């Protein structure tokens, strides 16, 4: 089945500086990875519409959106110690936040003819909270899409396998019972959140599931966590849509983190996740991933898995640490 592929040349105009790891070359790597993997014919390309003010306000405080606009007016400028904006950043950020909305509408109109959508966007989004941009992220792209689906009565599973904890996404939906946030990330690592004991609040209690793996964790541990902890929680939640924060910086070659995954592991994880909902109910968003070759390979295995095909240009990995995290998470989430 075909996969909807959303990207836009204007994403290249977000330039955080020549030495910044979140570089425009990342999108070129994604596109060349898909071409090299022979996936171009499986893609239906589409250009996203920018998110409107009301879309941004569905997850971000109006003051935060206005403040970011002011910072961007003064570009080049810094949002925090590692988040920078250039002249084209605000347009790119609005298009990144809008990509999921365009994808959802196109998938709904396809009546099951499109398997899923992959949004090759930048800047990434999962660190952006209701009240601030941070960690290379301006607006929270996946959260804007989840809020739209939730407003339409859907139950949304967000799987975040970026190596960093998606603190922004977690915060935005922390009290929400209709959005299940599942994060598999490295600990310790930026931004420091994402402990097993962070499980949601109020009506959202139990709808946040964190798996903070130690450096070096491999694909077998991720898959075992999926089977033993994530699946029982997801089956109880009964999602109608799946959104994936598809960061590929848990790849063993990534220069920013110390995890042990290969591109084959991203195929396995993505394939396991898409089984949970029907066709045309899956949207993946590019988050991190800073080794260009690993990013090219991993985005291709992810897109292939979205299309229903499991590929292993690199073998799945095993033998790393992290089993103890499963027991901790099971004790918190699966105790009777
Ligand atoms: Zn990351």
Is residue 232 in a domain?
no
Quickly tell me which residue has 């790393």 as its tokens: 320
The residues carrying an active-site annotation are 127
Tell me how many domains the chain contains: 1
pLDDT at 335: 87
How close is the Cα of 162 to the center of ligand 1, in Å? 5
Three-state secondary structure along 275-301?
CCCCCCCEEEEECCCCCHHHHHHHHHH
Looking at residue 119, which CATH number applies to its domain? 3.40.800.20
Give the Cα separation of 76 and 67 in Å (integer).
15
Distance 290 CA to ligand 1 centre (A): 9
Provide the pLDDT for residue 164. 98
Model pTM above 0.95: yes
Range of the structural domain that residue 33 is part of: 2-153+160-173+239-310
**What is the model's pLDDT at position 296?**
98
For ligand 1, the distance from its centroid to the CA atom of residue 249, given in whole angstroms, is 6
The answer to the question of residue 84 being in a domain is: yes
- Whole-number Å distance, alpha carbon 163 to ligand 1 midpoint, is 5
Ligand 1 ion: nearby residues, β-carbon < 5 Å: 162-164, 247, 249, 288
3-state DSSP of the chain: CEEEEECCHHHHHCCCCCCCCCCCHHHHHHHHHHHHCCCHHHEEEECCCCCCHHHHHCCCCHHHHHHHHHHHHCCCEEEECCEEECCCHHHHHHHHHHHHHHHHHHHHHHCCCEEEEEECCCCCCCCCCCCCCECCECCCHHHHHHHHHHHCCCCEEEEECCCCCCHHHHHHCCCCCCEEEEEEEECCCCCCCCCCCCCCCHHHCCCEEEEEECCCCCHHHHHHHHHHHHHHHHHHHCCCEEEEEECCCCECCCCCCCCCECHHHHHHHHHHHHCCCCCCCEEEEECCCCCHHHHHHHHHHHHHHHCCCCCCCCCCCCCCCCHHHHHHHHHHHCCC
Whether 198 maps to a domain, the answer reads no
pLDDT at 26: 98
Q: Is residue 273 in a domain?
A: yes
Task: For residue 14, tell me if it sits in a domain.
Answer: yes
Whether 196 is in a domain gets the answer no
Return d(Cα 26, Cα 121) in angstroms, integer.
10
Q: Which residues contact 49 (CB under 8 A, 6 or more apart)?
A: 95, 98, 101, 102
pLDDT tens for the chain, 336 residues long, are 899 999 999 999 999 999 999 999 999 999 999 999 999 999 999 999 999 999 999 999 999 999 999 999 999 999 999 999 999 999 999 999 999 999 999 999 999 899 999 999 999 999 999 999 999 999 999 999 999 999 999 999 999 999 999 999 999 999 999 999 999 999 999 999 999 999 999 999 999 999 999 999 999 999 999 999 999 999 999 999 999 999 999 999 999 999 999 999 999 999 999 999 999 999 999 999 999 999 999 999 999 999 999 999 999 999 999 999 999 999 999 986
Q: How far apart are CA 41 and CA 180, in angstroms?
A: 33
Residue 189 lies in a domain: no
Q: Would you tell me how many other CB atoms lie within 10 Å of the CB of residue 124?
A: 30
Residue 46 within a domain: yes
Cα 24 to middle of ligand 1, angstroms: 16
Closest CA to 169 of 205, 127, 197: 127
């Amino acid at each position: 089945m075909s996969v909807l592929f959303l990207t836009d040349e204007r994403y290249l105009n977000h330039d955080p500086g020549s030495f910044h790891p979140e570089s425009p070359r990342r999108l070129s790597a994604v596109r060349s990875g898909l071409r090299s993997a022979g996936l171009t014919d499986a893609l239906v390309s589409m250009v996203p519409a920018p998110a409107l003010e009301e879309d941004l306000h569905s997850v971000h405080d109006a003051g935060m959106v206005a403040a970011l606009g002011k910072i961007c007016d003064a570009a080049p400028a810094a949002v925090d110690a590692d988040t920078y904006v250039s002249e084209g950043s605000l347009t790119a950020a609005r298009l990144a936040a809008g990509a999921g909305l365009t994808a959802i509408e196109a998938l709904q109109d396809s009546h099951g003819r499109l398997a899923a959508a992959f949004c090759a966007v930048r800047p990434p989004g999962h660190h952006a909270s209701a009240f601030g941009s941070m960690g290379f992220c301006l607006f929270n792209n996946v959260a804007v899409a989840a809020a739209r689906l939730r407003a339409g009565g859907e139950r949304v599973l967000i799987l975040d396998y970026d190596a960093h904890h998606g603190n922004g996404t977690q915060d935005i939906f922390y009290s929400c019972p209709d959005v299940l946030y599942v994060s598999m990330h490295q600990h310790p690592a930026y931004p420091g959140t994402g402990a097993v004991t962070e499980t949601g609040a109020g009506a959202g209690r139990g709808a946040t599931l964190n798996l903070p793996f130690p450096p070096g964790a491999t694909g077998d541990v991720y898959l075992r966590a999926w089977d033993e902890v994530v699946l029982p929680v997801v089956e109880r939640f009964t999602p109608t849509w799946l959104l994936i924060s598809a960061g590929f910086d848990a790849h063993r070659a990534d220069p920013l983190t110390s995890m042990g995954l290969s591109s084959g592991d991203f195929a396995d994880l993505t394939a396991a996740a898409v089984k949970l909902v029907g066709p045309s109910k899956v949207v993946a968003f590019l988050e991190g991933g800073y080794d260009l070759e690993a990013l090219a390979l991993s985005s291709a295995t992810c897109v292939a898995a979205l299309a229903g095909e499991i590929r292993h240009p690199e073998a799945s990995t095993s033998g790393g640490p992290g089993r103890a995290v499963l027991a901790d998470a099971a004790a918190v989430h699966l105790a009777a």
